[in-house]
Amino acid sequence: MNEPLVLGIESTCDETGVALVRGRTLLADVTATSMDDFARYGGIIPEIASRAHLESFLPTLDAALAQAGVGLADVDAIAVAAGPGLIGSLTVGTAAAKALAVGTGKPLYGVNHIIGHVAVDELVNGPFPESFIALVVSGGHTSLLSVTDIATGVTELGSTLDDAAGEAFDKVGRLLDLPYPGGPHIDRLARQGDRTAIRFPRGLAAGKDRERHRYDFSFSGLKTAVARYVESLEDQAIPLPSEDIAASFSEAVNDVLTRKALEACRVNGADTLVIGGGFSANSRLRELVQERAVDYGVTVRIPPIRFCTDNGAMIAALGSALVRAGVEPSPLDFPNDSGMSLDQSHVAA
């Protein structure tokens, strides 16, 4: 018997994503982005993002259905990101999903966007092991999760206390006069620089901070250290060694991310680490975690770059997991939750 066909809708920030998943098989994945609209502002403008979702949703939905060769009547369940995210952007996606659910009579799941970044890995690398550790790194989130079941057994071990990894990259990108978003540009510069040239601090990685915040992250102090370094050179009229700054900064971030994630695997007896989120596209993160994982006996799973940024496939994947687990759908009047807890895979009835 065919597994249920799940429609996934993503609209938490500036990407409008619609995808269709049957079981763990991706049938269609279409994304419209308004990222280019924000380059001149140096960041996301929520109102512009919301309007872009309104304009993009129906064309994106139609394209995904056509790509999969199905109609709305063929869909068995609908999943939509209910949070975390920008409240205006979330509202567009959830309103559209609720309208589709009412019109088709299909069950609706309001799911956790961040957990979706982990769930999408199943579409590429197959079923998850019985338990594993997940590291989610993006522009707004840096979190370590312990997972025994992607649908019903997710526990947050730690998170960032201030800036997320991707957010820190964007801010340092501005210090170096790089285009928005700064992450890809710093990654490119870092590959040309000396990552040992400047010893930038590692947040919450030593002494009592390490004991008290074993699985937490902090990148605000690192960002400030880079700003002071840049200012001191500018005050002396010394040309900025942008490649070395980028490489040393990138190393400081990725050193902490990989050490804490792999330590979580060791302490929790997990032999698998799944990494997701937009920042997981970073080349040094991918390289360093694979190098270090060998010593821990840990298998690292990272989906292809196309699934790292926000997309409908991650929402459909989590929705499919919830349906397979027999989880009750969300109530039709569920609220958007811009600060949705990472211990909550969906909005429960």
Same domain, 176 and 292: yes
Using DSSP, state whether 253 is helix, strand or coil. helix
- What's the confidence (pLDDT) of residue 283? 97
273 and 214 in a single domain? The answer is yes
Q: 132, 272 in Cβ contact below 8 A?
A: yes
Same domain, 267 and 191: yes
Q: Grade residue 197 by pLDDT with cuts at 50, 70 and 90.
A: very high
Q: Are residues 225 and 281 in the same domain?
A: yes
CATH code, 207: 3.30.420.40
pLDDT in tens, 24-39: 999 999 999 876 666 6
Judged against a pLDDT cut of 80, whether residue 64 lies above it is answered with yes
Total domains present in the chain: 2
pLDDT at residue 3, as a whole number: 93
Q: What is the pLDDT of residue 42?
A: 73
- 158 within domain boundaries: yes
- Identify the residue whose tokens are 């975690």: 289
pTM for the whole structure = 0.95
pLDDT tens per residue across span 235-270: 999 999 999 999 999 999 999 999 999 999 999 999
Domain that holds residue 37: 5-120+311-324
Phi, psi of 271 (to 5 degrees): -105, 10
One-letter amino acid of 212: R
Judge whether residue 1 has pLDDT over 60. no
For residue 43, pLDDT over 90 is answered with no
177 and 293 assigned to the same domain: yes
Report the side by side order of strands in the sheet with 5-10.
25-33, 15-22, 5-10, 77-83, 108-112
How far, in Å, CA of 19 to CA of 123, rounded? 12
Are 143 and 288 in a shared domain?
yes
| pLDDT at res. 185 | 95
Residue at 343 is within a domain = no
pLDDT tens track for 299-328? 999 999 999 999 999 999 999 999 999 999
Task: State whether 267 and 132 are in the same domain.
Answer: yes
Does residue 46 lie within any of the structural domains? yes
